[in-house]
Amino acid sequence: QSALTQPPSASGSPGQSVTISCTGTSSDVGAYPYVSWYQQFPAKAPKLIIYEVNKRPSGVPDRFSGSKSGNMASLTVSGLQAEDEADYYCSAFAGTNTFWLFGGGTKLTVL
């Protein structure tokens, strides 16, 4: 099964909001509530920032929010800060044959 589809890049100025999309199918994103998002800085391990579509782990700023509509999930970063510049990956459960899929990643640039 193909990876989830994310735009390769996104950008915004400090203080603005940016939304990153993650498009799947009715067999993965659209089928289960298990969509998560990860933030990765260069040469670092990914960090969980959103799980189960719209829940934030303890310590993650509420500037990060997640949503889902049909087969597309979204990550919104509000009040952009320079420290948000990183790669972002979505992930979704795709059933008990394929199990777990990742998106190709989106590089977020803060202008």
Partner 1 sequence: QVQLHESGPGLVKPSGTLSLTCAVSGDSISSVTWWSWIRQPPGKGLEWVGEVYHTGKTNYNPSLKSRVTISADMSKNQFSLSVNSVTAADTAIYYCARKGPGYLDVWGRGTLVTVSS
Question: Which stretch, 19-27, 59-67, 71-79, 96-104, contacts partner 1 (CB under 8 A)?
Answer: 96-104
CA–centroid distance for 9 within its chain: 12
Check binding of 102 to partner 1 (CB under 8 A). Answer: yes
Closest approach, Cβ 88 to partner 1, in A, equals 11
Check binding of 47 to partner 1 (CB under 8 A). Answer: yes
Listed in order, strand segments (DSSP E) in the chain are 9-12, 18-23, 35-40, 47-50, 64-69, 72-77, 86-93, 100-102, 106-110
Three-state DSSP at 98 gives: helix
Identify whether the C-beta of residue 55 lies closer than 8 Å to the C-beta of residue 39. Answer: no
Rounded Cα gap, residues 82 and 102, in angstroms: 25
Closest approach, Cβ 80 to partner 1, in A, equals 23
The correct pick among 14, 15, 57, 70 for binding partner 1 (CB under 8 A) is 57
- Interactions with partner 1, residue window 13-32 (CB under 8 A): 32
The correct pick among 3, 10, 60, 72 for binding partner 1 (CB under 8 A) is 3
In terms of CB distance, is 56 or 63 closer to partner 1?
56
